[in-house]
Structures are given as C-alpha cells and as structure tokens.
C-alpha cells in the first residue's frame, strides 16, 4: 500500500522530461540463454499521458539495418498541456545485432528538448574490447568504460525483451548497461488485466519492477512485439504513461 504523502505542486517541464527518460531507461544477463524469436519490422503508435492527462504522442519503430542488425527507436512529442507549452521532444534509438540467435547492442543515442534546454548522449558497445562508453552531455563518472557481459542489453531493448520473454515464459531478470553503469532489472508477473487497443479490449499480462519509491509497469499482450502500455510511477503517483493505439 502506498505511503501517504503531502500534496505535490503542479509538475514542471523538468519533471515531465525526467519521467520520460526514466521510462525510456526502464529505461540482462539471462537473456543470453534464451533464443530470440524472429524479428519483424513494425511501427507502433502510442498516446503519451502524464499524471492522468494526455500530453502527447509516441512512436516506436523497429527496422532492419541489414546484416542481422536492427534499429529500434522511440520518439515522444508533447502536443498538449504543459508538455506542449514546454516544447517537449524526447528521442532515443539503438542499433543492435543478432549473433547466434542472441541480441546485443552496438550503439545508441538519446536526446531531449525542453524549453530552452537540450541534451544529447551517445553510447558505443564495443564487443571486441568488451566495454561500453558514452559521449555527449554526460558526467565524467558516467562516460565509462563499463565492462560488458554476454547477454547485456541497453534500456531500449528491454521493451522487446519483455514482450518476447513474457510470451515464452522466460525469466524476467535482466542486466542493463546504460548511462555509464550496469544494473540488474528484475520484473515480476502480477496477474492479468484488460487493456484497450484501437477500441478493442484485450487480455494482458502485467509485469512490475520496483526500485525504491519508483515503479515501472508494463502490460504485455500475446502476439504484440512491444508492451501495450508502459507506466512510470513515483511515490505512488502516475507519471509518464504510454498507451498503445495501433501497430503496423
């Protein structure tokens, strides 16, 4: 049960961006032992909500880059409310390859624009050297190198991994190498719930990751390559919430 807390002021543009980046970094060692399902290109359209109000749109894309490589991206843009006023624009992409049926990241980038402030970060995953490094708007202590292990993923790939592993009944324990550090991300299944996609109700498996007062919750519908909904919560309050509208 959430602990009671004092009333919070109206969210600032900074809070909206922070929630978005935490979601993307939500933001994977055991993945290496699980064979990857066949990947297919798609474009998924989301509604972006913040604290219960619709504030923008999001688009996820997976596209072939040739030679068993894939580019996966997420773009979220504020179109109403405080997000539109602030000109919120969040983008992240990763390129990964499939080697012996396993996925591993090669490079990534993320950028954000908010009012008069913007930032850009880039990541390189060098599997020959066995290390990852970051450049751009990063603190020196977050530039790396971070030692890579077989099965490591970046945060973008987690969406694909969750959809795959829930359907296959695999472990939901992951090791993410992101933002200058490596951390374990463990999800738990918490039953099933109904979600609505393009006006149709569908049954979804609910998975949850808790990190102190923060939670990331995803709803996985069988047959979909990405979550039908991804919700970031902080101290019991809903923050950024992506809800799938359609996929093609």
Residue with tokens 């109206």: 10
Give the pLDDT band of residue 24 (cuts 50, 70, 90): very low
Number of H helices, E strands in the chain: 3, 15
Which tokens sit at 220?
């996985």
Are 204 and 229 in contact by the 8 Å Cβ rule? The answer is yes
Give the pLDDT band of residue 87 (cuts 50, 70, 90): low
- Neighbouring C-alpha atoms within 13 Å toward the C-beta of 203: 4
| Total-model pTM | 0.80
Instruction: State residue 20's pLDDT score.
Output: 46
pLDDT in tens, 125-142: 999 999 999 999 999 999
Instruction: State residue 82's pLDDT score.
Output: 57
Backbone phi, psi, residue 40, to 5°: -135, 140
Tell whether omega for the bond before 22 is within 30 degrees of 0, i.e. cis: no
Burial class of 111 by CB neighbour count within 10 A (0 to 12, 13 to 18, 19+)? middle
pLDDT in tens, 214-244: 999 999 999 999 999 999 999 888 888 999 9
Query: Helix, strand, coil proportions of the chain in percent (round to 5)?
Result: 15, 55, 30
Which tokens sit at 225?
């390559």
pLDDT in tens, 137-169: 999 999 999 999 999 999 999 999 999 999 999
Q: Which of 35-44, 79-88, 192-201 has the lowest mean pLDDT?
A: 79-88
């Amino acid at each position: 049960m959430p602990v009671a807390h004092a009333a919070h002021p109206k969210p600032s543009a900074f809070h909206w961006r922070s929630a978005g980046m935490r979601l993307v970094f939500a933001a994977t060692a055991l993945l290496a032992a699980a064979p990857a399902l066949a990947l297919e290109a798609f474009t998924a359209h989301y509604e972006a909500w913040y604290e219960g109000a619709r504030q923008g749109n999001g688009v996820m894309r997976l596209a072939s880059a040739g030679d068993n490589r894939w580019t996966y991206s997420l773009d979220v843009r504020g179109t109403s409310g405080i997000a539109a006023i602030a000109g919120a624009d969040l983008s992240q992409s990763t390129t990964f390859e499939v080697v012996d049926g396993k996925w591993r990241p090669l490079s990534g980038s993320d950028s954000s624009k908010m009012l008069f402030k913007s930032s850009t970060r880039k990541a390189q995953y060098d599997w020959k050297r066995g290390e990852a490094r970051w450049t751009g708007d990063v603190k020196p202590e977050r530039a790396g190198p971070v030692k890579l292990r077989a099965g490591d993923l970046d945060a973008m790939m987690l969406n694909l991994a969750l959809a795959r592993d829930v359907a296959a009944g695999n472990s939901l324990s992951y090791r993410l190498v992101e933002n200058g550090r490596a951390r374990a991300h463990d999800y738990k299944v918490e039953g099933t719930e109904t979600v609505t996609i393009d006006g149709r109700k569908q049954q979804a498996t609910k998975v949850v990751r808790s990190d102190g007062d923060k939670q990331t919750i995803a709803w996985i519908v069988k047959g979909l390559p990405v979550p039908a909904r991804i919700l970031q919560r902080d101290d019991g309050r809903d923050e950024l919430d992506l809800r799938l509208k359609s996929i093609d």
